[in-house]
Amino acid sequence: MSELTEPRIPAVTAPPPIQRLPLLQLILVGLQHVLLMYGGAVAVPLIIGQAAGLSREEIAFLINADLLVAGVATIVQSMGIGPMGIRMPVMMGASFAAVGSMVAMAGMPGIGMTGIFGATIAAGFFGMIIAPFMSKIVRFFPPLVTGTVITSIGLSLFPVAVNWAGGGNAAVQFGSPLYLSIAALVLATILLINRFLRGFWVNISVLIGMALGYVLSGALGMVDLSGIGQAPWFQIVTPLHFGMPEFHLAPILSMCLVVVIIFVESTGMFLALGKITGQEVTPRMLRRGLLCDAGASFLAGFFNTFTHSSFAQNIGLVQMTGVRCRSVTIMAGVFLITLSLLPKAAFLVASIPPAVLGGAAIAMFGMVAATGIKILQEADIADRRNQLLVAVSIGMGLIPVVRPEFFAHLPMWMGPITHSGIAMAAVSAVSLNLMFNVLGGAERAAMSGHVHQL
C-alpha cells in the first residue's frame, strides 16, 4: 500500500468546544506552558539584540515586544479568529530558524534592526500568500513520515534539556553536582507525582517540580535578581520603536526561505498535536495554522520583533499532563501579554535557573520523542525500506545537533535548512517516502505478488 494518501476531509470541520476547567487549574496549567517556553521565547531577541550591539534597555524592549506578539499569536492560534488559528493547544514564540540569517543581517552595512524588521514583514506577507498551497502538503505526511519527524523533534530538543540540566551555557562549572541535584530533584518530583497522585496534581506536576527547584535554588543563592529594581513596573510596547522598516532584497529572500522551513516544522508539530488530542488535522486546519504563523511574523515586524512559529517543547507538556483543551494555551497567551506589560514580572520569570528548566525539560522533550515512536506503530515499520527511511531521516535530523558546523562550507542561503534538525528530518523523510513507497509502490506490489505465488 502506498504511504501517500489523500486525507479524509470531514463535511464539517468545526473546532472542538473550549472546555471549561476550574479557574485555579486553568491558571496553573497555563503558567506551566509559559514557564516551559519562556527561555526559548526570550533567547531569540536576546541573541539578535546582542549581535546588533543594542543597549540593555533596548534588548529588554525587544524581549517585551516578543512576549506581546507571542501572547497575541498564541491566543489567535488557539481560539481561531477569522481565517487564522488551528484551534488546538498551541504556544507561539520567536522562531530559532531565522537566528542565523538575522545575526548575519545585523552585521551587514546598511541593514541593522530596521532592515531585519522589514525582511520579517515581507516574509510574513509571503507566508500568507503561500500558506494555502503549503497546507496541501499534509498528504505527504502519512504516519510513517509524521512519526519520524516528531521523533526527530524530540531528539533535537533533548540536547537543550541536557544543557540546561548541567547549568546552562553561562555555568562556571558545567555539570556541577549542585546543578545535577537541582535538575534531578525537579525530575524526581514530576515522576513521583505522576506515580502516586491523580487528576489535578498530575496536571500541574511540572509546575510543582519547577517551583520546588526554584525555591531550593533561591535558598542556595542560585537565583540572580540583580537589576530587577531598575526595571519599570509598567511599560507599553509601541510599534516601530526603532524607526520605519527598510526593505532590502537579499535579507527578504533569506527570510522567505526561513518561512518555508517554519511551515515544514509547524506542519510536523500540528500533526503531532492532532495525534495527542485525537483530532484529524485536515488541509483546512493546517492552512489556518500556517496563516497564523505567517500573520504573526507580519505583525511582529511592525512591533519590533521577529518571525514567529509554534513551539515544539510545549507539545510534550500537553502529552504529559493530559490537559488537551485550548483554553489552557489561551490563558497562557494572556500571561504572555501581561508579562510584556510588566517588566519586573518578566524579569522574575527569567530568573529561573537553567538547572530547574532542565529537570522539567528532560521529561517534556522525551515525551515528544515518545509520541513520535507511538505514531510509528501505525506504519508498516517491519518493512526494511521503512526502517531505512526512519534510520536515515533521524540521522539527518541529528546532524545539526551533533555537529552544528557540519554544513559550514555550504552556501549561506541553505543555512535555515541545514541548521534545523527538524527541517533536515522532514525533507529526508518526505523524499525517501516518495522514493520508496510512492514512486516505488508498483514495484513493491509486484514483488509482493511474486512472493505470494512462490
Q: What is the pLDDT of residues 42-65, one digit of tens each?
A: 777 876 776 777 776 777 788 889
pLDDT at 10 exceeding the cut of 60: no
Q: CA gyration radius for the chain? A: 22
pLDDT at 143 exceeding the cut of 60: yes
More confident position, 199 or 175: 175
Task: Report the DSSP beta bridge partners of residue 84.
Answer: 81
Cell of 9: 476531509
**How does pLDDT run across 406-419, given as a tens digit for each residue?**
888 887 767 767 77
92 Cβ partners below 8 Å, 6+ apart?
Answer: 70, 73, 74, 77, 292, 293, 296, 308, 309, 310, 311, 333
Of the ranges 255-264, 302-311, 339-348, 364-373, the best mean pLDDT one: 302-311
**Confidence (pLDDT) at 12:** 42
Domain annotation covers residue 390 = yes
Q: What is the mean pLDDT of residues 311-319?
A: 75
**Confidence (pLDDT) at 187:** 93
92: phi then psi, degrees, rounded to nearest 5: -115, 155
| Euclidean distance between CA atoms 171 and 63, whole angstroms | 22
**Confidence (pLDDT) at 361:** 80
**Confidence (pLDDT) at 442:** 54
pLDDT at 401 exceeding the cut of 90: no
Residue 404 in contact with residue 159, Cβ under 8 Å? no
**Confidence (pLDDT) at 445:** 52
**Confidence (pLDDT) at 7:** 43
**CA angle, 99 as apex, 166 and 304 as ends, to 5°?**
115
pLDDT above 90 coverage of the chain, percent? 20
Domain annotation covers residue 247 = yes
Residue 338, classified by CB atoms within 10 Å of its CB into exposed (0-12), middle (13-18) or buried (19+), is: middle
Average of per-residue pLDDT values in the chain = 81
pTM as predicted: 0.70
| Euclidean distance between CA atoms 178 and 192, whole angstroms | 21
Domain annotation covers residue 278 = yes
Half-sphere exposure of 425 (CA within 13 A, CB side): 31
**Confidence (pLDDT) at 336:** 92
pLDDT at 91 exceeding the cut of 60: yes
**Confidence (pLDDT) at 28:** 86
**Confidence (pLDDT) at 454:** 47
Domain annotation covers residue 218 = yes
Domain annotation covers residue 246 = yes
pLDDT above 70 coverage of the chain, percent? 88
**Confidence (pLDDT) at 128:** 94
Number of domains comprising the chain? 1
| Euclidean distance between CA atoms 134 and 161, whole angstroms | 31
pLDDT at 8 exceeding the cut of 50: no
pLDDT at 181 exceeding the cut of 90: yes
**Confidence (pLDDT) at 136:** 77
Domain annotation covers residue 107 = yes
**Confidence (pLDDT) at 18:** 62
Lowest-pLDDT range of 75-79, 167-171, 292-296, 376-380: 167-171
Nearest C-alpha neighbor of 3 from the set 395, 390, 380, 382: 380
Domain annotation covers residue 60 = yes
Residues spanned by the domain of 285: 23-224+242-444
212 Cβ partners below 8 Å, 6+ apart?
Answer: 185, 186, 189
pLDDT at 238 exceeding the cut of 50: yes
Q: What is the mean pLDDT of residues 146-152?
A: 83
Q: What is the mean pLDDT of residues 104-123?
A: 84
Q: What is the mean pLDDT of residues 218-225?
A: 85
pLDDT at 452 exceeding the cut of 70: no
pLDDT at 279 exceeding the cut of 50: yes
Residue 9 in contact with residue 290, Cβ under 8 Å? no
Task: Grade residue 74 by pLDDT with cuts at 50, 70 and 90.
Answer: very high
pLDDT at 149 exceeding the cut of 50: yes
Domain annotation covers residue 124 = yes
Q: What is the mean pLDDT of residues 104-111?
A: 74
Length of the chain: 454
